[in-house]
Structure formats: structure tokens, C-alpha cells
Amino acid sequence: MSRIAARFASLRAQGRGALIPFLEAYDPDRATSMAILRGMPGAGADLIEIGMPFTDPMADGPIIQAAGKRALAAGATVAGTLGMVAEFRGEDAATPVILMGYLNPILSYGPERFCKDAGRAGVDGLIVVDLPPEEAQLLAPHAAANGLDIIRLVAPTTDDARLKLVLTGSSGFVYYVSITGITGTRSATGAELAANIPRLRRATDLPIAIGFGVRTPTQAAEAVRIADAAVVASALIDTLAGCLGKGDVAKRVLDQVRELADGVRQARVPA
Amino acid sequence: MTVSLAPQLGRNSLRTGPDEHGRFGGFGGRFVAETLMPLILEVEAAYRAARADPEFQPELDRYLKDYVGRPSPLWFAERLTRELGGAKVYFKRDELNHTGAHKINSCMGQILLARRMGKTRIIAETGAGQHGVATATVCALFGLPCTVYMGATDVERQKPNVFRMKLLGAEVRPVTSGAATLKDAMNEALRDWVANVHDTYYLIGTVAGPHPYPMMVRDFQSVIGEEARAQLHEAEGRLPDAVVAAIGGGSNAMGLFHPFLDDAAVRLIGVEAAGLGLDTHQHAASLSRGRPGVLHGNRTYLLQDADGQIEEAHSISAGLDYPGIGPEHSWLHDIGRVEYVAATDAEALAAFQLCTRTEGIIPALEPAHALAHVAKLAPGMDKDAILLMNLCGRGDKDIFTVAEHLGVTL
């Protein structure tokens, strides 16, 4: 069983949902982002999503755009990001790590070489924002050969006919983009989620994570009541950006992860 | 020599692309986030339906004739020809279109499509501001609200066009992310579209972006080449020997080249912006110095670093200042059908002055790049050879930039 499947199975047995916090590799520098990554499991992260910096993050709002810019200025590269995961794996063999990014740096690295090196570093899944199912053959065979799940985004605009196509070849979990919009801008209402998640649930057995607009412990709790996991990204980056130059960056981000984890752990998950 | 005015598309035609996946060879495609995918497919279906509707093209033709002012003339540049001392140089004068450039050809087609789709809000990106002005113009014509994304750097260097767009009722949103130029304006327009999928149509200005845009914008711009082909036949009774156009994203070149792709005897030459020189890092020559990658929804040649991060382009012309190029050009480059060369800022400036002095036409800095190559090419060709160049825009918008480079204070 893959690390992602094992983690969701064990959470289901405990009757609770997952918290998936996000960090941008090398933001604001390698050492700080490495400290955040290393501290996340202890702070209550069930899975971890790591952003791979790109100059042109088209699906991201200003907060994550700024994170990418800081990271690139700090010398982030694809190889450097994989190196962080390998270092993390030296200490933690159980927490699944998902890389989220855009296609071009992967193409430039070479899709086959990238999947091989990512598998070897201990990456468990990939989210490639600008790689829709129509173009997935570029990466899918190499991901499969190296034990990497391809985690697809499903949006409110994805109709039932498309949903089938998107879910074919999806593995690990399904990432539900809760709003039509970019990251860190607005949040879906409970009613919107209640309308869309059951539709998705009927179409797949995979765990469902809700992302885009999950910011507070209350929202994270609400997400895992309806779905299986909550992804929190912009709210954490906001905190990081707000305390740059004031010291204790990793500690403040991890404190917030702890609060989010408390929210998730206190939420009741329907059987 | 006899010329067929409506060439038949044979099995080996180069004009049948893209395939159903939006591919020209290995280039093009639909690399967008899932939120946008259903929308891209909706635009494609609507475009195919419009093409199949016998009323669509006549309606577009009427606007092109009575509003845009088509056909644009074909002009034999006689003094310039004498000055260069070689091939006869003809200008396809798309700078005489309403709004002063070729951009409106595609804007007119796309706004009719957006109306058919029931979209009530238009967004666009712009570099030099020509596409923004053309988009704001058709939005004013049809009474649709219009938001134009423009890099903050470009807002600063293209003030007259910013004011024009505002007069036309458009909202101009300066983009400060990235390097604040055309590439970033396109990112921001895509972000707007993702957030406003229900009522908004994204009117892309060039032959790039996800399928169907490269095909659709090419189709709408092909009116340039179709007219030129017929006009040259009337003037000279034959095909040109060489056809030259400037390339940023590549829409004016694609529109001029496409009707000539199957005429193997016609040399097709695209001129990229070499900026301060191809061996500096200050240029916009994606084909000459880039390598294939994925940006803005399509696979194409891009200026990028060793790690796949997109690099900033540079050109004296804001309209050529883009690190990518339309995917059909990438394919035509790889199969060798079109030659791609480059002209520097300095060569374009010299050609700008040459054209103004010899023909009484102030060209935009974009076609001045094409003319810079014509000036290199024509002298080495026979006096009865024919060179066709796309004068795709007029230079009023550029006089401040040119004055600054010539050391003149206005």
C-alpha cells in the first residue's frame, strides 16, 4: 500500500479527517522551509504538500505568487526541492509528501528523470496544475513506473461527463478546488461544499481533499466534516510573510499548523 | 506563372492543422488548470458552430469592410525599392485598419463569437496596447464592459494607448507581478478568467494560449494573407518570391503566411526581436534562442533558464516583448517551412526612419523589425523579384520611444 493510501486508511480507522498543510520550497530560504517541513508532522500535519516554485503560477493568487518569487530569489530549483524531500525522508518514513507545481520546470528537468528522482527522494504524489487529463500522457507512465500518485484537481466547473475523465487515471486522493478562482482569494460557503462534495463522492472511492479558501481551524474542521482532508496554503504563507525579519518564522507557522490540526481533530467525521 | 486564388488543401497540405488535440506537430495543446478546461472546450465548440453557421462569416465580413476598412491596400513601395536597389517591395497595409493595426481583425471575429456565446464581459491582455485598444474598441461598439490587463511597465511606456483604452470605456488594470510586462498581463488575465468563468470571455490577442486560440486567431488573421495573395496576383500576375513579417506572439505573421504555406516556391520569413543582440540576454527571440516548454496553455518555444523558469524578454517594441511564440510557428520552424531570423533594436530604429523618409509612412516598431530584414534581403535579390511585407501597424504610438532613442526631447 502506498504511503498516501496507508495514511488515509489509518485516519479512517481513527474516525478523523486529514490536515494537509502547504509550504513553498525555499520560502523564504532553504533552511527556514526545511525547518517548517521537518516540524510539520509533529505539529499535526497528516500529509504535507510542497509547492515547487515557478515564475508564472497562473492558478495562484498574490500570496503564493510572492512565496514563489522569494523562493526563486533564494535559489530554489527542482533538484533542490527534491533534495529537501530526501532530507525529510531521512527522519520521517510515514508522512506522505505531495509536490504541487506547474509543468514547465518538470518538462525542463525531463518527465522521466523527474519521476525517477522524485520517487527515489520519497515523494508520494504529484499535483501538476496545468496538466489536464487531455495532456496527462506526458507524465502518467513515468509517475506510475516510480510509484507516484497523480492527484487531479476537480473544480466546480467540472461537469459530470468531465468528472469521469478527470477521475480516470487519478490516484492517491482527489483535490477538490472549492471555488472558481485562484488561491487565497475567497472561501466556499458550507452550502456550496454540501452541494458539490456528494456529487464527487458518488463518482469516486478515492479520499477527497478540499483546498483553495480553507484558512481557519473552523473552516478546516468544516472541510473534514464534509470531505476527507483539508488543504491549507495561503493562510500559512500569509503568516510566514507577516513575520519575515522578525525571527521565529518556522515556529509561528508551525503554531498555526497546530491550531489547524486541533480544529481538524475536534471535527466529527461522519461514518 | 498561373496562380490559384483558392488553393485546394491536398493530403500533404501544411494548412490543415491543428489536429483534434490542438496540436501542430508536437506543439500547441491545452495546458490549463481544470477550472478552465470546460471553458476552453466551450469556446472551441462555439467557434466550430460559428464556422458552420452560414451567417457568421458574412456578418464578420460586413464589419471588416464597413467598420475596420478592409480590404487594406497593397502598396508598391517604389522609392524604398529604388533606395534598396533590388527586389520590388510591396507593403500589405494593415496599419490603415481602424485602430491602426492588424489586431482588430481577430478582435472583431472574437467579439462576434463572445456575443454568440452569451458572454457579457470581455477581458484581454495587452503589451504595446494595440490589442487592448482594438479590444476596447469592439467592446465600445457592442456595449460590453471591458477589462484590459497590462504590465505596469508597459502602462508607463505606452501612455497614449492607455488613455485611448480609457476613453473607449475600458478599465485598464496595471499588473505588478513578475516583471510587469506582457507575460504577466496574460497570467493575470487567465487568473481573472478562472474567477469569472460564468460570464466572461477572454479575448486573446495573439496566436498563442490554449487550443483553440492559436487556430482561431490565425483563422481570423488569415484575411491578411488571402487579400495580399489576390491583390498581388492582380498587380503582378504571380506569387511573391518572399514574404516577410515581424513576430512577437506571431499573429500578423501567421495571418500573412498561412495562405502561402502550400506554395513551396514562396520563401516565408519571420523576424523576431533581437533586442540588444541575440548573444545578450536582452532579446525576445524565442525560436532563435529558446527551447520548447509549456507556458500560457500551450507547448512552444520559450525563453527559459536551465531549470525551466521563464525568462524576461526584451525589445524596443513592447508588442514583441514576449518570451514565447505561437505554437504553429514552432512547428513551421521545426519542419523548416518558415525561416526565422532576428533584427535588433538598432536595426528596427533605422528601418523605422527609412520607411518614414522614403514612403511617408510611419510604421510601428513591430513591422520596423520586418522592414529591417527586408532592407538586408532586397538588395541581394533580382530587380524583378517580389518581396511582400506586412506593415501590420502604424507608428504613432511609438514616437515617444523613438524620440527618446534618438535623443530628442518632445
Q: What is the pLDDT of residue A268?
A: 67
- The pLDDT tens digits of the residues spanning B223-234 come to 999 999 999 999
Measure CA of the first residue to CA of the last residue in chain B; give whole Å: 51
High-pLDDT (> 90) share of chain A, %? 87
| Cα atoms in the 13 Å half-sphere on the side-chain side of B248 | 28
pLDDT of A251 > 80? The answer is yes
User: Catalytic residue at A60?
Assistant: yes
> Which of B34, B44, B196, B199 should we substitute to test contact with A (largest number of A Cβ atoms within 10 Å)?
B34
Contact A152 B293 (CB under 8 A): no
- The pLDDT tens digits of the residues spanning A35-44 come to 999 999 999 9
- The pLDDT tens digits of the residues spanning A163-187 come to 999 999 999 999 999 888 888 888 8
Q: What is the pLDDT of residue B196?
A: 93
**For helices B103-116 and B130-142, what crossing angle results, to 10°?**
40
DSSP state, residue B55: T
Contact A77 B307 (CB under 8 A): yes
Chain B CB within 8 Å of residue A77 CB: yes
High-pLDDT (> 70) share of chain B, %? 97
DSSP state, residue B72: P
High-pLDDT (> 70) share of chain A, %? 99
- The pLDDT tens digits of the residues spanning A124-136 come to 999 999 999 999 9
Closest to B70 measured CA to CA, from B223, B203, B225, B207: B223
Catalytic residue among A49, A124, A228, A238: A49
Please work out, in degrees rounded to the nearest 5, the angle formed at the alpha carbon of residue B202 by the alpha carbons of B200 and B205: 155
Chain B CB within 8 Å of residue A181 CB: yes
Contact A55 B178 (CB under 8 A): yes
b (16+ CB within 10 A) / e for A155-186: bbbbeeebbebbbeebbbbbbbbbbbbbbbbe
- The pLDDT tens digits of the residues spanning B330-368 come to 999 999 999 999 999 999 999 999 999 999 999 999 999
**Diameter of chain B measured on Cα atoms:** 57
Q: Which residue of B lies nearest to A165 if distances are taken between CA atoms?
A: B34
Nearest to B35 among A55, A56, A180 (CB): A180
Identify all chain A residues contacting B296, using CB atoms and an 8 Å cutoff: 56, 58
> Which of A128, A138, A157 should we substitute to test contact with B (largest number of B Cβ atoms within 10 Å)?
A157
- The pLDDT tens digits of the residues spanning A92-124 come to 999 999 999 999 999 999 999 999 999 999 999
Q: What is the pLDDT of residue B3?
A: 47
Contact B295 A56 (CB under 8 A): yes
| Cα atoms in the 13 Å half-sphere on the side-chain side of B115 | 15
Chain A: closest CA distance from residue B344 (Å): 26
CA distance A129 to A114: 16
Catalytic residue among A60, A117, A149, A238: A60
> Average pLDDT of B94-117?
98
Residues 6+ apart with CB under 8 A from B20: none
CA distance B226 to B242: 15
pLDDT of A260 > 80? The answer is yes
Q: What is the pTM of this model?
A: 0.95
Chain B CB within 8 Å of residue A65 CB: yes
- Residue, of B410 and B201, whose pLDDT is higher: B201
- B267: burial class by Cβ within 10 Å (0-12, 13-18, 19+)? middle
Closest to B110 measured CA to CA, from B259, B239, B218: B218
Chain B CB within 8 Å of residue A161 CB: no
Identify all chain B residues contacting A130, using CB atoms and an 8 Å cutoff: 31-33, 294, 297
Q: What is the pLDDT of residue B12?
A: 84
Nearest to A58 among B191, B196, B197 (CB): B191
ipTM: 0.94
- pLDDT band with cut points at 50, 70 and 90 for residue B1: very low
- How many Cβ atoms sit within 10 Å of the Cβ of residue A34? 18
Q: What is the pLDDT of residue A187?
A: 84
Closest to A61 measured CA to CA, from A251, A212, A227: A212
Q: What is the pLDDT of residue A269?
A: 53
- The pLDDT tens digits of the residues spanning B39-87 come to 999 999 999 999 999 999 999 999 999 999 999 999 999 999 999 999 9
User: Catalytic residue at A262?
Assistant: no
- The pLDDT tens digits of the residues spanning B262-305 come to 999 999 999 999 999 999 989 999 999 999 999 999 999 999 99
Q: What is the pLDDT of residue A74?
A: 98
Domains of chain A plus CATH, in order, are 3-266 (3.20.20.70)
- Which helix (H) or strand (E) segment holds residue B78: the answer is helix B78-84
